[in-house]
């Protein structure tokens, strides 16, 4: 690993001295599109490879396997992975504990250097990582590029934040003393990321944990373990010591629960469904024999996100923002617009524009870079179709509603819009996690805000209005962790939009913000008498 001085030099060199978000790739440029096609071919030649568990630097294989498949072509295996069970939990814990003995004392500069070097390697291979995302979870090129870019952003941002924490001081120096405030690591943590941002969220939670001196047992989603394996390979290339990150795909009910319940687990960073998050929180709260601490849970658990469209808004922009938020990555984002709440005086005009513009949302193989690809698996497709049937009972089907048949039997659904949905209906209250939009009519602005706040979630929301007073009211009364004014409610940018929600959306962890690393540390005050 690089020396502390080398890390300082990296940070001081332009353009890396100040944090800047990774630019998006313009695939409209022929050269960029051609480079992406070449990456798809190159990565396609490596599909189906078998990957090992990595525990304490050792490669292990198991009898049980996890097969990650391409949701656009379910017969195509992206990667074959070992299936860690409860019997591997203790081995992974011991490896992480052993690594923690030394990793906790590695300087913040050296730990930051690991992240910066990993970011550089990922940037060099950006198109290959995009291709892996296309194949493993069905992202189109733009969605894949955003995921890879956010990964780079997390690594770059958290490296700088770790150095800032390392330089923290007390607010005052008490007379006659030398006062210090040290942010020290917690210990061994479980990182349990989702499949929908299998690179950015997985890497972000892992990076935040290790850059602050913790060690990690990483249990990726069974729908997206390959991209996590590729990330661990990058960390190893960059000199990460054995045991700092232990790569353990496995069942949540066996391996995952065993790690969460383990008395030596210090924290759990989780992104996923409300139900699983609450189960983790409950299990972590129960003190186990030999447990010395209260486990910390860092949870992001989804949303039922609304875009409010006022009568004084730019309807063209509002319709575009709703469609992009509702159907980007087939609605498989916790931040996706699931409800459009529209003032009655412009309701019919808004619905008419939705009907016209949704026809531009083409569905098909993400390798071809269409607007919408598949949903992640057969179970997700069945669940979403159940909600579509419920929508036909609760409201009026405006567009979509059907599966899209392909020779490869991919998991495709049309972008689906229901209008005239009651504010307390199933489609208005339950997280669907698919390309289904409920449109709800509101009497006026106050009524629209009341509807927007009537779910158990509080993650993202947006308001379209040209009235400055309404924007000011929304700042105070629209109860979400991430509020967007006159723009879509997806696409949080690291550094600019610290991300995390209220209520059943989680613990408001604010990933990508200046407070996030505090969640992976504990503050130690030191006072020395002098003179």
Distance CA 489, CA 326 (A): 9
Query: pTM here?
Result: 0.96
Q: Which domain holds residue 323?
A: 305-493
Same domain, 283 and 310: no
DSSP letters spanning 451-502: HHT-SSEESEEEEE-S-HHHHHHHHHHS--SEEEESS-S----TTTS-B--E
Q: What was the pLDDT predicted at 178? A: 97
How many domains, in total, are found in the chain?
Answer: 2
Same domain, 85 and 234: yes
Q: What was the pLDDT predicted at 3? A: 47
Flag whether 21 is in a domain.
Answer: no
pLDDT tens digits for 250-263? 999 999 999 999 99
Same domain, 265 and 365: no
Cβ atoms within 10 Å, residue 276: 18
Same domain, 519 and 469: no
Distance CA 497, CA 213 (A): 25
Distance CA 126, CA 152 (A): 9
Q: What was the pLDDT predicted at 17? A: 74
| Catalytic site positions | 300, 334
Give yes or no for a contact between 316 and 427, defined as CB atoms under 8 angstroms apart. no
- CATH of residue 427's domain is 3.40.309.10
Q: What was the pLDDT predicted at 56? A: 98
Same domain, 346 and 474: yes
Which residues of the chain are under the pLDDT cut of 50? 2-5, 7-8, 10-15
Give the angle subtended at the CA of 160 by the CAs of 204 and 19, to the nearest 5°.
90
Flag whether 1 is in a domain.
Answer: no
Same domain, 365 and 462: yes
Flag whether 11 is in a domain.
Answer: no
Flag whether 6 is in a domain.
Answer: no
Same domain, 80 and 207: yes
Same domain, 294 and 359: no
Give yes or no for a contact between 115 and 208, defined as CB atoms under 8 angstroms apart. no
Same domain, 113 and 255: yes
Q: Across-strand partners of 526?
A: 180
Same domain, 328 and 385: yes
Q: What was the pLDDT predicted at 1? A: 52
Same domain, 393 and 290: no
Chain centroid to CA 420: 31
Same domain, 230 and 297: yes
Contacts of 531 (CB under 8 A, 6+ apart): 176
Chain centroid to CA 505: 13
Helix, strand or coil, per DSSP, at residue 201: helix
pLDDT tens digits for 356-415? 999 999 999 999 999 999 999 999 999 999 999 999 999 999 999 999 999 999 999 999
Give yes or no for a contact between 506 and 301, defined as CB atoms under 8 angstroms apart. yes
């Amino acid at each position: 690993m690089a020396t502390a001085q080398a890390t300082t030099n990296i940070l001081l060199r332009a353009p890396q001295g100040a944090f800047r978000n990774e630019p998006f790739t313009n695939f409209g440029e022929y050269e960029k599109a051609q480079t992406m096609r070449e990456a798809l071919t190159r990565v396609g030649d490596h599909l189906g490879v078998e990957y090992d568990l990595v525990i304490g630097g050792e490669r292990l294989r198991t009898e049980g396997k996890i097969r990650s498949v391409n949701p656009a072509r379910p017969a195509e295996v992206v990667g074959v992975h070992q299936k860690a069970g409860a019997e591997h939990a203790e081995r992974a814990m011991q490896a992480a504990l052993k690594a923690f003995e030394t990793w906790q004392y590695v300087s913040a500069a050296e730990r930051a250097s690991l992240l910066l070097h990993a970011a550089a390697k990922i940037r060099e291979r950006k198109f290959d990582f995009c291709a892996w995302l296309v194949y493993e979870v069905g992202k189109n090129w733009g969605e894949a590029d955003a995921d890879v870019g956010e990964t780079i952003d997390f690594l770059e941002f958290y490296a700088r934040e770790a150095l800032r924490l390392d330089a923290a001081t007390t607010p005052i120096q008490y007379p006659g003393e030398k006062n210090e405030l040290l942010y020290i690591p917690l210990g061994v943590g479980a990182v349990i990321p989702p499949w929908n941002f299998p690179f950015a969220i997985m890497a972000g939670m892992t990076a935040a944990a290790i850059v602050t001196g913790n060690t990690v047992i990483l249990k990726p989603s069974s729908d997206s373990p390959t991209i996590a394996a590729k990330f661990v390979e990058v960390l190893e290339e960059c000199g990460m010591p054995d045991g700092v990150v232990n790569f353990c795909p496995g069942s949540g009910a066996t391996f995952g629960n065993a790690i969460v319940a383990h008395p030596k687990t210090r924290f759990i960073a989780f992104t996923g469904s409300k139900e699983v998050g609450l189960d983790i929180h409950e299990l972590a709260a129960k003190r186990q024999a030999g447990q010395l601490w209260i486990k910390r849970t860092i949870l992001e658990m989804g949303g039922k996100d609304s875009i409010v469209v006022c009568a004084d808004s730019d309807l063209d922009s509002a319709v575009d923002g709703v469609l992009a938020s509702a159907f980007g990555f087939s609605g498989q984002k916790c931040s996706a617009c699931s409800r459009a709440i529209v003032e009655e005086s412009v309701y019919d005009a808004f619905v008419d524009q939705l009907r016209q513009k949704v026809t531009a949302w083409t569905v098909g193989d993400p390798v071809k870079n269409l607007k919408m690809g598949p949903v992640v698996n057969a179970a997700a497709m069945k669940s979403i179709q159940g909600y579509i049937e419920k929508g036909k009972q609760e409201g009026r089907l405006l567009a979509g509603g059907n599966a899209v048949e392909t020779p490869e039997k991919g998991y495709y659904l049309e972008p689906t819009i229901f209008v005239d949905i009651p504010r307390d209906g199933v489609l208005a209250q339950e997280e669907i996690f698919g390309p289904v939009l409920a449109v709800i009519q509101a009497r006026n602005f106050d009524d629209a805000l009341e509807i927007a706040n009537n779910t158990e979630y509080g993650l993202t929301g947006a308001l379209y209005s040209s009235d400055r007073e309404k924007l000011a009211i929304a700042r105070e009364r629209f109860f979400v962790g991430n509020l967007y004014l006159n723009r879509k409610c997806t696409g949080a940018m690291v550094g600019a939009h610290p991300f995390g929600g209220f209520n059943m959306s989680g613990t408001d962890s604010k990933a990508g913000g200046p407070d996030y690393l505090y969640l992976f540390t504990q503050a130690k005050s030191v006072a020395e008498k002098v003179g």
